[in-house]
Structure 1
Amino acid sequence: MKGTLMAAWMNSAKKLYGSEIVEKNMKQANWDKDHIIKPTEDIQEDIPKKIMAGIAKDVGIPVSEVWQAIGKENIYSFFKLYPSYFKQQNLFSFLSSMDDIHTIITNKMPGATPPRLIMEVISNTEAKITYISKREMYDYLYGLMLGAAEFFNEKLEITPLAKGPGTATFKLKFEKPIISRKTYLLNKFLSFGFIKSVELKSAILTTVTTLGLLLIISPIIPENFNTLVLAPLLLLTSFISSKMMNKPLKNIIDTIENIKSRKFFLTTEITTNDQYEKLNSSLNEYKKSITNDLIAFKGITDEMDSFGETFTRISSEMNQTSSEISQVVEQVAAGVMNQAEETESSVFILNQNIDSLKEIVDKENQSKDLLENVVKEINEGYNAVKETTENLQSIISQFSTLKDNADKLELKTKDINEVVETVTSIAEQTNLLALNASIEAARAGEHGRGFSVVAEEIRKLAEESKKAASSISEDLQSFTISINNIVKDIENQFVILRDESTKLDKVAQSNYQSTLSIRSVTDSIIGMINQLTTETESIAQIYNKIESLAAIAEENSASAQEVSANVSQYTSKIKDMSQNIIEFKKLTEQFKEDLDKYQI
């Protein structure tokens, strides 16, 4: 089964029973409701049957009624697709052509196996149609025939005659006569079962009639008048015989006139058992052949008309698109020309910038050398400061030693002062003892005089010792004060020197960090200068490429102008094609009108 029929069935089912029920049963039959059915797609036979069975169950009617309703609705679906097939004079003509219509449509679908619908006339208003198909879609066919009767607004009685595997036969009784049948008994009688020649039949009839008349009139006519009577009698009997034998010719002439009038739906069958019957059969076969061709032509015209409408729409869209493309191409051409000019201007400006950049790079390289020298001098200054700091630390260490020695000297001075104080105390005591000795010597008189002299000398010595000790004490005090002042100065200078050393060390460390930062910045600057040099060289290479791009832009500009001209020509051709398509559609419509003159 091909996709065209499946799509028609699903569309009809949705119209009859709603999309929700149909899509539900499509899902239950493992069929994707969003699947796009292609006309030539092969569909499994059981899928539509499962869907229709599910629909019948949901709506509560026999599945046979569902198929009949689908068949009836499909008539109108097919009418929209192939309206020319329905331009027939009556229902019988349409049903008779269904077999040919099936064949014509399915011949365009490789692998399709259409059912056969063989029509056989059994009376003026009755026919027998035989359906042959392995699908056994009897109820669907029944619905199709009911739908066709409704479409042509005719009454149709359908009586099932027989059903078997893959085949079914129905008797159809039409409201209007479907065929004209005439039997010419004289022609049939004179054939005697084997004579097919009309001339021979006419001769036999003439002979028999003449002999019969002669037998009747010869007794009453004088013998001398026999010859005179025989000639008119032969003429009369020949005329009558010829007239009677050629009566079927009128039906044949009517058939030919119908053919000339393009009325192929009128069929007349005659029975004469001679050439006239054969000639009439040949004419009917010719009419059948022409009818089949007309059916095919009508289908083709429907497709041509549909194709023409589609092509007209596409050509209109192409015309609009080509106009838009033409505008875009013109804009692109203008843009390309502008781009070429801007590229050329950019190349000139870039060339100037590259020259300026080269000068900057040269100056930066000179600055790099100066910067490297400055960094070198800063490093040397840092090393000198570091050395000074180290020397200052040595001096601080020496000052510390000197301070310690001054402190020790101060202590020694204090020790000496204590000794002097002891000496002074001893001198005072000695002086006091000498005074006491003098007093005692005076008391002793003459005996104590020598002792008194000694005591006086001792007193004088004690006085001198006291003075010497006092002088030493004063000198020591002065010396101690000087030493203390020196020690204080040393301490002050030590503190100052230590603070300055600390500051200098901090400055040296800061200078060292600054030197490292300057070195890092210098390295970065040198790297940037080197990178700038490299980028300058790259820009110079880009400049060369841009020069090439400028040349390409000029070529593109010329190409764009050429493309613009070609697109304009293409647009003109599209317009011509659109006009030709309109003319083609007019011819198709004219052809359809001409075909519609043939009444099948």
Structure 2
Amino acid sequence: MKGTVVATWIKTMENLHGEELVNEAKRESSWNTGLMITPLMNIEDDMAHDLVNTVAAKANTSVSELWQKIGQENINSFSEWFPSYFDGRRLHNFLEMMDTVHKQLTEMIPGANPPRIIPDIPEEDTLRLTYRSKRGMFDYFLGLLKGSGVYFDKDIKVNELSRDTSSEQQELVVDVIFPEPIKTSKTFSFNKLLSLGIFKSIESKLGLAVTVTTTIIGFILAGTDSQLWLPPALGLLNGGIGYLVMKGLFKPFGLLNQELDEVGDMNLSNTISVDSGDEFEEVFEKINKIKARVREDILFLKGGTDDMYNFTGELVDLTGDMKRVSDNIAVVVDEVAQGATEQAEETENSAYIVDNNVREIENLVETGSQSKEQLEAAVTSIKESAGEVKQVNQMINDIKEAFGDVNDRGIQLSHQVEEIMEIVDTVSEIAEQTNLLSLNATIEAARSSGDSRGFAVVADEIRDLADDSHKAGEEIRHNLESFTREVQALVDGISSQFSNLEESNKALDKVTAANQESTENIEDASEQVMEIVDNLRNETQKISEVIEKLNSLAAIAEENSASSQEMSASVSDYADKIKEMTDYIQQTEKLVENFQESLTDYST
């Protein structure tokens, strides 16, 4: 398909459904969004149809309805792009030339296969159009007819006669009925009468007319006796008859002069059909062919100049955009050149600063290496201290266990003293019972006879022994209670010290654990510090390599600065050339416009 036609379709769809929807359809369909359409471009049918189908789907309308709307609205778009095809033209002339226009618009596109729109005028008010195309875009064609009627303000009727989609060249035949006659026909009855169906030349008709009339008049005058005035009368009569016959036969000359005047006025739009039965038919037919041929050439020139004018206008806009872009590029290049110079200076300064920083880092690495050795010694000392703390902790644990044994034995001793006191209590009770028994014995001895005196003495001794036993038991009890209190005090003291020792042991355990954790953390930190020192050493080496590259970059930056300055000069030259090209294009546009104005004198 011709690029101009597809561009017109796209513009029409943008007018119908908005530019945003059409752009979305371009992205979603197989359309190349970066395509710049030129007049002679050949665009694939599938890509154009896919775009229209996608727009129809997004606009919630049928494809058939959209094609009819495109056809109807395209008339307005075509009139803007090709005003020469529309200005000063009548609708039937416009439709009759469509087949020629299609061929002219596409003949410069390789492989183009435009549709045929073959006109015929079967009746004075009817234009029969036969649309043939392998694409079968019948809805689009019907939309074009409807839009044409609206554009030219003609109340036409379109009757579909036949539709054939079975063959490769699909065909649609319609009759376009106009409210007034569209065909100019002129019949010259006198010329037809003298032709008798066999005489086509003017000479033969003139000879026939003079011969017949002279013969008839001769027979009429043959019965008279006026011999003197007969010859002059016949001469005058023949001359008059010849004049009248010639005037009748050459009546089409008036129409011919009118046609020549119209051609002289560059009006080639009318086609006249003459029915005279003589050579005038051939003359007018040749004039019609000449006018048709000239019409085709003028149409081609008009269409080409319209196409050239519009494309030149777009080219002017494009060169304007290019000039603005080149101006922006020139500004950017100047900024880049200035930036490149500053970058070269900053690169040198950065290389100098980085070099100093590397030296400081190297000093830090050296100091870090010494600190690493000191830290390793400190870690070793901390590990040894941690081992000694563990040993002290173990000794305290042993003392704690010994104190535990003493505490247990003190408790056992306290229990044994309690058992001894129970024995002493038993002895005291026995002494009291013995004392009571000796008292009873003394009483009984006093009641008895003198033979019982010895028994009384024994009873007294037993009582004395019981008293002594009681006193001894009390004293033992008293001593055991004192001993028990001392033992209890010792046990309490040992228990108190054991508790303190146990708390101290717990605290020492915590200290030992914390010391161990700190030792491990310090060891980890030491390893990290050593790793950092090693990394610093490696990074220092890498930074040294970076410094070398920075020095290289500084040299490159200086070269870039020089190149940017050269580029700035080139861009300035490019901008001047674009301005010069814009001037030439504007001059071309003016020439095309003048050519268009000169072609408006031709009415096709």
TM-score band w.r.t. shorter chain: 0.5 to 0.7
Q: How many angstroms apart in 1 are the aligned matches of 2:182 and 2:391? A: 137
Deviation at 1:539, TM superposition (A): 1.1
Instruction: Report the secondary structure of 1:265's partner residue.
Output: coil
Query: Would you say the 8 A contact 1:188–1:271 is kept in 2?
Result: no
Aligned residues of 2:267 and 2:602 also touching (Cα < 8 A)? yes
Going from structure 1 to structure 2, the CA distance change for 1:7 and 1:255 (only over 3 Å counts) comes to closer
> How far did residue 530 of structure 1 move?
1.2
Deviations 1:536-575 (A, max 9, x none): 1111122222222222222222232233223223333333
Instruction: Note closer, same or farther for the CA distance 1:529–1:35 as it changes in structure 2 (3 Å cut).
Output: closer
Structure ID, larger Rg: 1
Residues 104-144 of structure 1: per-residue CA shift (max 9 Å, x gap): 5676696766353413375xxx2542232479999997886
How far apart, in 2, do the equivalents of 1:521 and 1:173 lie? 103
Task: For residue 345 of structure 1, report the CA deviation from its aligned partner.
Answer: 1.0
Sort the Cα spacing of 1:280 and 1:584 in 2 relative to 1 into closer, same or farther, 3 A: same
Distance 1:100 1:281 in 2: 19
Alpha carbons 1:88, 1:599 under 8 Å: kept: yes
Amino acid across the alignment from 1:120: I
Q: Which residue of 2 aligns with 1:84?
A: 84
Contact 1:364 1:529 in 2 (8 A): yes
Cα separation, 2, equivalents of 1:498 and 1:320:
93
SS at match of 1:118: strand
> What is the aligned partner in structure 1 of residue 115 from structure 2?
114
Pairing of 1:204-223 with structure 2 (within 5 A): 220=228
The alpha-carbon deviation at position 598 of structure 1 amounts to 0.8
User: Percent identity, aligned pairs only?
Assistant: 28
Distance 1:582 1:249 in 2: 48
**CA separation of 1:234 and 1:351: change in aligned 2, threshold 3 A:** farther
Q: Are 2:126 and 2:177, in contact at CA under 8 Å, matched by a contact in 1?
A: yes
More moved, 262-271 vs 145-154? 145-154
577-586 or 102-111: bigger deviation: 102-111
Cα deviation for residue 283 of structure 1 reads 2.8
State the aligned residue count.
Answer: 480
- TM-score under structure 2 length normalisation: 0.58
Residue type of the partner of 1:293?
D
1:555 maps to which residue?
Answer: 559
Corresponding residue number in structure 1 for 2:184:
179
2:12 and 2:73 in contact (8 A); partners too: no
C-alpha deviation, 1:174, in angstroms: 5.5
> 1:533 is matched by which residue type in structure 2?
R
RMSD: 6.4
Q: Is the 8 A contact 1:270 1:277 kept in 2?
A: yes
Instruction: Compute the displacement of 1:212 (Å).
Output: 8.4
Deviation readout 1:60-97 (Å, 9 max, x if unpaired): xxx99x99999776654553454332124433322322
CA gap 1:35/1:285 in 2 versus in 1, 3 angstroms: farther
Question: For structure 1, which segment, 376-385 or 326-335, has the greater mean C-alpha deviation from structure 2 after superposition?
Answer: 376-385
Q: One-letter code of the match for 2:363?
A: E
Superposed displacement of residue 264, structure 1: 0.7
The structural deviation recorded for 1:304 is: 2.9
Following superposition of structure 1 onto structure 2, how do residues 19-30 of structure 1 map, counting pairs within 5 Å?
none
Amino acid corresponding to residue 83 of structure 1 in structure 2: P
1:65-76 alignment runs, 5 A limit: 75-76=75-76
Counterpart residue identity of residue 561, structure 2:
S
| Distance (whole Å) between structure 2 residues aligned to residue 73 and residue 507 of structure 1 | 95
Task: For residues 363-389 of structure 1, give each alpha carbon's deviation from its aligned partner in whole angstroms, at most 9, with x where no partner exists.
Answer: 322333343344445555666777788
Counterpart contact for 1:154–1:175, Cα < 8 Å: no
Measure, in 1, the Cα distance between the counterparts of 2:573 and 2:527: 64
Aligned to 2:128: 130
Q: TM-score, normalised by structure 1?
A: 0.59
Distance 1:287 1:543, change over 3 A: same
Q: Which residue of 1 aligns with 2:323?
A: 319
Alignment-derived partner of residue 366 in structure 2: 362
* Aligned counterpart for 2:313 among listed residues 306, 309, 314: 309
CA 1:295/1:36 → structure 2, altered by over 3 Å: closer, same or farther?
Answer: farther
Deviation (angstroms), 1:288 = 0.7
Aligned equivalent of 1:521? 525
CA distance in structure 2 between the partners assigned to 1:598 and 1:307 by the alignment:
23
Q: Please say if residues 102 and 114 of structure 2, whose CA atoms lie closer than 8 Å, have aligned partners that are also in contact.
A: no
Q: Cα gap change, 1:320/1:210 in structure 2, threshold over 3 Å: closer, same or farther?
A: same
The 5 Å alignment of 1:505-520 reads 514-520=518-524
Question: Of residues 508, 526, 530 in structure 1, which corresponds to 2:534?
Answer: 530
CA distance in 1, matches of 2:552, 2:111: 57
Could you tell which deviates more after superposition, 524-533 or 376-385?
Answer: 376-385
Q: Closer, same or farther in 2 for the Cα pair 1:139/1:346, shift >3 Å?
A: closer
Q: Tell me the distance in 1 between the aligned counterparts of 2:511 and 2:281.
A: 138
1:568 equivalent to 2:572? Answer yes
SS of the residue 2:115 aligns to: coil
Q: CA deviation at 1:184?
A: 8.5
Is the partner of 2:585 in helix, strand or coil? helix
Distance 1:389 1:73 in 2: 103
In the alignment, the residues of structure 1 paired with residue 113 and residue 28 of structure 2 have an alpha-carbon distance, to the nearest angstrom, of 21
Q: Deviations over 1:296-351 (max 9, x none)?
A: 33333333333233333333333323322322222222222211211111011111
Task: Tell me which residue corresponds to 1:597.
Answer: 601
Distance 1:520 1:575, change over 3 A: same
